[in-house]
Amino acid sequence: MGRTVIEKIFAAHTEDEVVPGKVIWLDLDARSARDFAGANVVKRFREAYPGERVADPGKTFFTFDCNAPANTIAYAQNQRICRLFAREQGIKVYDVDSGIGSHVLMEEGIAVPGATVVGTDSHLNILGAVGAFGQGMGDVDIAFAFRYGRTWFEVPPTMHIVLTGRCEFPATAKDLTLFLVGKLGSRGALGKAVEIEGEAVEVLDMAGRITLCSMATEMGAISAFLPPSDALWEFVEGATGRRDFPYPTADPDAEYIQELGLDVSGLKPMIAAPPRPDNVYVVSELEGERVDTVFVGSCTNGRYEDIRLVAEILKGRRVAPGVVLKVAPATRRVWGQLLKEGWLEVLYDAGAVITHAACAGCAQGQIGMTGEGEVQLSTGNRNFPGKQGKGPTYLCSPATAAASALLGRITSPERL
């Protein structure tokens, strides 16, 4: 019988029989912990395995991104605990200068097509963008993965989504993603892997692939996978110098638990209103609502292409009086490219607050939170109450964020 993408990846990493619903032992190509929960992983490890070593320091990583550099003493302590453990065990730390861990894993060629990776980031399934299995887990799981290099996993059933039509600017990858989150809802893909195909997916650049895969979590999915593309191979080659990884694709006779066809032609810019990511509207339906703060960044929309688009829209203009525009690149590499090509200067001239690479707005740190009643537009992936501060948060694309920052009101980018 044919296999789905996740079944192919699993079959290459286990001796157990890979059948949906069955629990298998899965070999891990990499395991990571962030500054969030990382110290707990160390504590669990030390208690359960006193004096013992991690299975393979070369496949074990710390990535600091939640609070980088630490702006609370608690985070500073936690980062210190991780650094000391790393030194003792010979583990590499991608420290506070590096950026969002999941992106660093892809840029560094640690997460490659077909790889299995776990970490303490609930959006680690973003690695589906390069055809890798990524999964966020708690500190107990990660301590075990550090020690033994493997984990247990229930093979999920796979859902197959075929998109027809092509979405055209001003609709972008984020609008397509919000459209899907709105259609499926937060339980629409609960416990399933999702394969998404169609022209609208094939034409995505690497940033767009990342955006789409990052919000699998908000659909309830274990992971989302896309077919390979030129943009994917260019990225992988940049990270590893290689293009010869076998990319996991489904067999023609793979079995899906659900098939879904959606037409995305003529898609309009979309926005998720508070309090949930699946509370999705067409931007024009909410147009005119006043905006106080705009955050551009996050693992969903913090790539070079995302931030350059914002800079292109803002070039030669200034954000509306009273609006705070916050920008945080996803990684140091993205930050450097934007800096060297002059895009940060464009953003500076437009009135933006610019910070170094990390999770920023989504992790309640580093670039500030919102106060009560302060309306924020965010290019992130979650708008639950309290996630990015006290104020209500809307989720949108970088283009909508830029247009809205300019006018100080929710604005669809085609208005400009």
Partner 1 sequence: MRPTVIKGRPWVIVDAEGNLIDDIDTDQIYHNAYLAVTDPREMGGYAFSNLEGWGDFPKEAKPGDVLFVGENFGAGSSRQHAVDCFLALGIGAVVGRSFGAIYKRNAINSGLPLLELPEIPVAALRAFEEVTVDLESGEIRSPGGRVIARARPMSRVALEIYRAGGLLELKRL
Q: In the bound complex, what is the minimum distance in angstroms from residue 138's beta carbon to partner 1?
A: 5
Nearer to partner 1, 27 or 255 (CB): 27
Residue 253's φ and ψ, nearest 5 degrees, are: -105, 25
Show Cβ contacts of residue 366 under 8 Å, excluding neighbours closer than 6 positions.
67, 68, 71, 328, 355, 358, 359, 360
Element housing 162 (H / E): strand 158-164
Residue 277 burial (CB count, 10 A): 26
Structure token digits, residue 284: 């024009």
Our CB check for partner 1 shows the closer of 113 and 220 to be 220
230 exposure class (CB count in 10 Å sphere: 0-12, 13-18, 19+): exposed
Kindly state the smallest distance separating residue 247's Cβ from partner 1, in Å: 26
User: Measured between alpha carbons, how far is residue 169 from residues 72, 131, 175, 217, 350 in Å?
Assistant: 41, 26, 10, 25, 23
Please state the closest distance from residue 164 (CB atom) to partner 1, in A: 30
Which residue number, 143 or 236, has a Cβ lying nearer to partner 1?
Answer: 143
CB of 140 to partner 1, least distance (A): 5
What CA–CA distance (Å, rounded) separates 78 from 65?
Answer: 12
Q: Is the dihedral of CA 225, 231, 233, 236 positive or negative?
A: negative
Please count the other Cβ atoms lying within 10 Å of the Cβ belonging to residue 265.
Answer: 13
104-107 long-range contacts, Cβ below 8 Å, gap at least 24?
104/63, 104/65, 104/331, 105/30, 105/32, 105/61, 105/63, 105/134, 106/130, 106/132, 106/210, 106/235, 106/239, 107/239, 107/331, 107/333
- The least CB distance from residue 193 to partner 1, in Å, is 12
Residues near partner 1 (CB under 8 A) are: 22-25, 44, 47-48, 122, 136-141, 143-144, 148, 150, 152, 154, 187, 190-191, 220, 222
Place of tokens 């094939």: 202
Nearer to partner 1, 154 or 230 (CB): 154
Nearer to partner 1, 22 or 290 (CB): 22
Q: Can you read off the two tokens belonging to residue 264?
A: 């995305």
Q: Least Å distance between CB 384 and partner 1?
A: 9
CB 405 within 8 A of CB 319: yes
Residues contacting residue 21 through CB under 8 Å, at least 6 positions apart = 154, 155, 157
Task: Choose between 154 and 285: whose C-beta lies nearer to partner 1.
Answer: 154
- Shorter beta-carbon distance to partner 1: residue 124 or 358: 124
With respect to partner 1, which residue has the nearer C-beta, 139 or 175? Answer: 139
Whole-number Å distance between alpha carbons of 209 and 229: 10
Alpha-carbon gap, residue 21 to 158, rounded angstroms? 11
Minimum CB separation of residue 44 from partner 1 in Å reads 6
- Minimum Å gap between C-beta 13 and partner 1 is 15
Nearer to partner 1, 143 or 328 (CB): 143
Least distance (Å) between residue 20 CB and partner 1 = 13
Alpha-carbon dihedral sign for residues 346, 348, 350, 352: positive
Closer residue to partner 1 in complex, CB, 279/284: 279
Dihedral of CA atoms 201, 66, 277, 282 in degrees, nearest 10, equals -60
Residue 225 or residue 343: which is nearer to partner 1 going by CB?
225
- Which structure tokens are listed for 163? 């998109």
CB of 22 to partner 1, least distance (A): 7
Q: How far is the CB of 361 from partner 1 (least distance, A)?
A: 19
